[in-house]
Amino acid sequence: MSALVQASYYRPRIFPIKNDVTDAEIDRAQSIDPSATLNAEIIEEIGTVGSVGSVKGSSEVSYGLTQYEYGNIEFWQKLVNTATLGAVGQTAITQDDFKTPYSNICAYMTDDDGTFLGTVLYPGLRTSGFSLSISDPQAIVERSFDLVGESAIILQNTNKYYIYERYACGSGGDNEVDLSTRAPIVDPDNAGVYMFKVYRVRGAATTELTLTTDYTYSNITKILTIVSVQAGDVIKAYYSSATAPATMFTTNTVDVAAIRGDSVDIYLYVPASGKPSSADYAYRLQSVSLDVSFDRLDLREIGNDEVVARGVTNTTVTATLGRLLETFTIEEVLRGQTAGYGKIDISQFSDEIALIIKIYSDNTKTSFKYGFMATGMTTTDIGGGVNVAEYVNREGTIEGKSFSITADSTLLV
Using CA atoms, how far apart are residues 235 and 227, in angstroms rounded to an integer?
Answer: 11
When mean pLDDT is compared across 42-51, 171-180, 337-346, 391-400, the lowest value belongs to 337-346
Looking at residue 202, what is its pLDDT?
A: 96
pTM to 2 decimals?
0.89
Looking at residue 335, what is its pLDDT?
A: 46
Looking at residue 330, what is its pLDDT?
A: 53
67 and 143 in contact (C-beta within 8 Å)?
Answer: yes
Looking at residue 255, what is its pLDDT?
A: 96
Bigger pLDDT: 300 vs 247: 247
Task: Say whether pLDDT at 322 is over 50.
Answer: yes
Looking at residue 354, what is its pLDDT?
A: 85
Q: Is residue 8 very low, low, confident or very high in pLDDT (cuts 50, 70, 90)?
A: confident
Using CA atoms, how far apart are residues 267 and 363, in angstroms rounded to an integer?
Answer: 16
Give the residue among 94, 79, 89 at the shortest CA–CA distance from 16.
79
Using CA atoms, how far apart are residues 410 and 413, in angstroms rounded to an integer?
Answer: 7
Q: Which residues partner with 145 through β-bridges?
A: 65, 130
Residue 5 phi, psi dihedral angles, 5° rounding: -105, 115
Burial (0-12, 13-18, 19+ Cβ within 10 Å), 31 = exposed
List pLDDT tens digits, range 218-238.
999 999 999 999 999 999 999
398 and 316 in contact (C-beta within 8 Å)?
Answer: no
- Taking residues 205-220, what's their average pLDDT? 96
Looking at residue 395, what is its pLDDT?
A: 66
Q: What is the CATH number of domain 261-411?
A: 2.30.110
- Taking residues 57-79, what's their average pLDDT? 94
Looking at residue 306, what is its pLDDT?
A: 74
Residue 254 neighbours by CB distance under 10 Å: 8
Task: Say whether pLDDT at 38 is over 60.
Answer: yes
List pLDDT tens digits, range 80-123.
999 999 999 999 999 999 999 999 999 999 988 888 999 999 99
Task: Say whether pLDDT at 275 is over 70.
Answer: no
Using CA atoms, how far apart are residues 262 and 258, in angstroms rounded to an integer?
Answer: 12
When mean pLDDT is compared across 8-17, 43-52, 278-287, 309-318, the lowest value belongs to 278-287
What integer best gives the mean pLDDT of the chain? Answer: 87
Looking at residue 371, what is its pLDDT?
A: 97
60 and 42 in contact (C-beta within 8 Å)?
Answer: no
Amino acid letter for position 362: D
Bigger pLDDT: 231 vs 273: 231
Using CA atoms, how far apart are residues 110 and 130, in angstroms rounded to an integer?
Answer: 29
Looking at residue 323, what is its pLDDT?
A: 58
Looking at residue 273, what is its pLDDT?
A: 55
Q: What percent of the chain has pLDDT over 90?
A: 65
Task: Say whether pLDDT at 387 is over 70.
Answer: no
- Whole-angstrom CA distances from 21 to 71, 74, 303, 359 are 20, 11, 31, 25
Q: Residue-wise over 90-120: b if at least 16 C-beta within 10 A, else e?
A: bebbbbebbbbbbbbbbbbbbeeeeeebbbb
Looking at residue 66, what is its pLDDT?
A: 97
